[in-house]
Each structure stands twice: as C-alpha cells, then as structure tokens.
Amino acid sequence: MRAYERLIRYTAFPTGSDENAKGCPSTQAQMTFAQALAQEMKSLGLSQVRVDKNGYCFGMIEANIPDWAGKTIGFIAHMDVVSEVPFTDIRPRIVKYDGGTVELESGDRLSPEEFPFLEKYKGETLIVTGGDTLLGADDKAGIADILTFAEYLKDHPDVKHGRIAIGFTPDEEIGRGADMFDIKAFGADYAYTVDGGAFGEVEYETFNAASARVTFTGVSIHPGSAKGQMVNASLVAMEFARMLPAWERPEHTEGYEGFYHLTDMSGSEEAAVLRYILRDHDRTKLEEKKAVMLAARDWLNRRYGEGTVTVELKDSYRNMKEIVEQYPGVMERAEKAFRENGVEPVIQPIRGGTDGAQLSFRGLPCPNLSTGGYNFHGRKELIPVPAMEKMVDVLVSLVC
C-alpha cells in the first residue's frame, strides 16, 4: 500500500484531542485508532507490538544484520488532530494539479495567489479536503510514511538495517503527547518525529512554550445604579488584552519572533477568563513575556482593586536545540538522507512544538522531519502525493 492510500484510510478516524479531558488519551477515538494501527503493525511483521493503557502504540522492526550491536533508531508520529477545526466526516480528494486554482467541494478554493508554493507542484497529484474540514495530514501523513517505510523493509529483506523502534502518540496537539511516553519501553537511543511541513525540512529548534490563564473578577450591579460601583470583568479583560503588544501576535510574527496568542475567551460582568499561549525561541524573551503579563495584572489591580486580575502561568516545553546540539550525528544523518534523495535539507526553527521537545529533555534526542504537507490545522490543508513517497525513501536512507 502506498503512503497516500494509508493517509486517506486514516482520515476516517476522528481523532481530535480534547484539552478539557483529564485522561490519556483525551478521546476514545485515539485509542480506537491506536488499536487499529497495532493490528496493521502486526500484519507488517513488527515485533513487540502493544498499545498501553494511555493509548501509546509501540512496535519494533528487528535488525536483519547478523550480530548487529549498534544504536536503535526510532520514528515517532502523533495520532491526534486539532479539534478547533471540523475533523469528522473528512472527504479527502485526489487532484491532478495542472496549475491555476483548485476548486474545493465547499465552494472555497486553493489559488497560487494565496499559496505561491502550488506552482512548484504543477503536474503532480495533491490530496485536498472538501473545504469544510481539515485533512489530518498533521500527523496522519507521518504515520502513513512510517508504516509504508515498514512495509518497504518487509518486502525488501535485502535492505540491511539495524533495530528500529516505532511509536505513535496521543494528544500531541494539546501539548501532552510526550507526557506518558515510556522512553525505556520504546527502546530507541535516538529518534525522529515525522511531523513537519514541506518536504526537505529538518528541524531541531522549537519554541520555549508556556500557557497563561488570566481570570477577571468583577462587581455586578444593576446598570441603572452602577456609577462608581460596577467593575465589568469582561471590559477589564479587554483592557488586559490591549496592554499586550499587538505586534507580537502570531499574525504579525515569523522566523525567530515569539508571540502572545489568545486562544480562548469567555466572560460576563461578574467573571471573565482569557487563555493564552506564549512562545519564543529565546528563553529569556519568553520570561520577559511572562513579566509583561504580570505587570499588566498589577496595574489593573491597582486600578480596580487587589484580586481583580489573577494570572496563572505554566511552562509547557523548552527549546530542544540545547539538547540536540549535543548529538551532532543525529542531525547530520538526517541531512545526509535528504541529500541522498535529491533535495537539499532546509534547516529552520519550528514555529510550534513537537513531542520531540519534551523527549529530548528526557534523554531521547529527537529532531523533526518533514511530512510534505501544507496549511496544517485548516480547511485548506493539502499534501502532495510525491512528497509522501519521497519521505518514505528518506526514512529508508536513514536506516541503511
């Protein structure tokens, strides 16, 4: 089975994760998908296949080199998709791209004016959505690439390789993908997440990440007699939002620029809540962003009364660069594999996070590789079929 065929099959599993759920995995659909993947892995001849109680799916491809005694390489992808965009009833469509605009079933369109990268895929085959859901290539394309690679090794026993660990994680999109990951049981000395974008990307720098929950407590009173007494929590929340630098929002940043991102808001006169994620590749700058939030809190409390605003800050993950740089051979091996398959690797920072960030700090150096996809987390998500096939070749090169 080809990688794109696997991806299309996997889109039938509605694996959106739920940040409000307490358990792991956060949704039953992820456990169902993990069990289906375990059956597929067994059919491909993997050993030690199991799904643990937290929904992590592991397996091993044993070395076929006599008396092999090298390091075990690992490949990791995540099973969940974001839930902020519709993720059920996905209708993937195979399109031969001849240039120009691609009409989606919803009436929306993909145009080279909006997405200039389309021009380089003229004459190639794309997988697109119906325009009213995401596709889920983040990261089911990674899973499809890894298991197609496993099938290739099964069908080509003449390709000599060492021991290969494979792992699929739940809840990556809500920042919990590595929380319950059993590194010892996984069995790899180093690994790669296959969770990136355009073909050729190799990434070992992530953001430093934190989250903030900002709570506003107001004073509710009849508006007819509110003068000098009412404190409208929702309006105080709006003041707080305006006190953060607008130019440091995601829509105004790129490259190594960090941001404050408002992800959720709710409120009334009496109580309001704003939720943010904070990101920066420079840890000192992330701490400065936290300090700005705390200063805004203090100013508003002086104005409206102590306790009007509270800020709860929580660190999520750190920039894995400081760990991966200690293992230069891991990056060199990835770069070499891409060059062997005709593409110069693009080394760039991840403007997001991967399971590899936490795993690297827990002792498993884990850079990130491309899947070939574009427009992740949106209704215009797409992935070129040739990019998926080339990624399978890159994975083969990595283990040979």
Q: In angstroms, rounded to a whole number, what is the distance separating the alpha carbons of residues 191 and 172?
A: 16
Q: In angstroms, rounded to a whole number, what is the distance separating the alpha carbons of residues 281 and 200?
A: 21
Burial pattern 336-375, b for ≥16 Cβ within 10 A else e, equals: ebbeebebebbebebbbbbbbbbbbbeebbbbbbbbbbbb
Could you say which DSSP state residue 123 is in?
A: T
Q: In angstroms, rounded to a whole number, what is the distance separating the alpha carbons of residues 60 and 115?
A: 39
Give CA 242 to chain center in angstroms: 29
Q: In angstroms, rounded to a whole number, what is the distance separating the alpha carbons of residues 303 and 280?
A: 30
Give me the residues paired with residue 374 across strands: 382
Instruction: Judge contact between 197 and 376, C-beta under 8 A.
Output: yes
Instruction: Judge contact between 243 and 299, C-beta under 8 A.
Output: yes
Q: In angstroms, rounded to a whole number, what is the distance separating the alpha carbons of residues 92 and 43?
A: 25
Question: What are the backbone angles phi and psi of residue 140, rounded to the nearest 5°?
Answer: -70, -20
How many Å is the Cα radius of gyration of the chain? 23
Q: Is 19 in the active site? A: no
Whether omega for the bond prior to residue 108 falls within 30 degrees of 0, making it cis, is no
Q: In angstroms, rounded to a whole number, what is the distance separating the alpha carbons of residues 315 and 293?
A: 14
Give me the residues paired with residue 202 across strands: 347, 369
Q: Is 280 in the active site? A: no
Residues 6+ apart with CB under 8 A from 296: 240, 243, 244, 309
Instruction: Judge contact between 62 and 16, C-beta under 8 A.
Output: no
The amino acid occupying position 196 is G
From first CA to last CA, the distance across the chain in angstroms is 22
Q: In angstroms, rounded to a whole number, what is the distance separating the alpha carbons of residues 77 and 149?
A: 13
Within 44-160, where are the H helices? 137-155
Question: Which is the catalytic residue, given 138, 145, 172, 173?
Answer: 172
Catalytic positions are 80, 172
